[in-house]
Amino acid sequence: MEAVIFIGIQGAGKSTFYRERFFDTHVRISLDMLRTRRRERLIFEACLAAQQSFVVDNTNPLASDRERYVGPARAAGFRVIAYFFETTLREALRRNNLRRLRQKIPVVAVTGTFKRLQPPRLLEGFDEIHTAELTAADQFVVS
């Protein structure tokens, strides 16, 4: 069982990465889709109870944002894996501008997340940390 936590600013490619790498194996938990923390918590708790692998597809810029998932997932016996999406603010804003009108995130929100972003650390409780970057050809490189 895997609990995968995505970390990165809006427009970094997190949802695209989920569709490419985890769609067939992991439940997607996303505030963009669920809209409320209550709904998110219900799905998260259901995954823990059912021992279902999942991906938290949110920005999770701060260690304090991530701890709500890491501790309970570890306590339930999940391997907890972080994917840190490295990108420049300029590239994220460019990709954000390619989104449909309703899906675009305000520039001030993307910039604010970029300024607060803390890279994940093993001492947060992660078993593995990977870095994902989008190339100019829109391919992911994971290290």
Number of Cβ within 10 Å of residue 1's Cβ equals 16
Q: What is the DSSP letter of 54?
A: E
Q: What are the tens digits of pLDDT across the range 20-39?
A: 999 999 999 999 899 999 99
- Domain housing 26: 2-142
- CA neighbor of 30 nearest in space, from 64, 71, 75, 60: 60
If one counts the domains in the chain, the total is 1
Token pair of 4 as six digits: 């995968």
Residue-wise pLDDT tens digits, 34-60: 999 999 999 999 999 999 999 999 999
pTM (global) more than 0.85: yes
CATH number assigned to the domain comprising residue 93: 3.40.50.300
The Cα–Cα gap between 143 and 133 comes to 9
* Cα–Cα distance, 142 to 88 (Å, whole number): 16
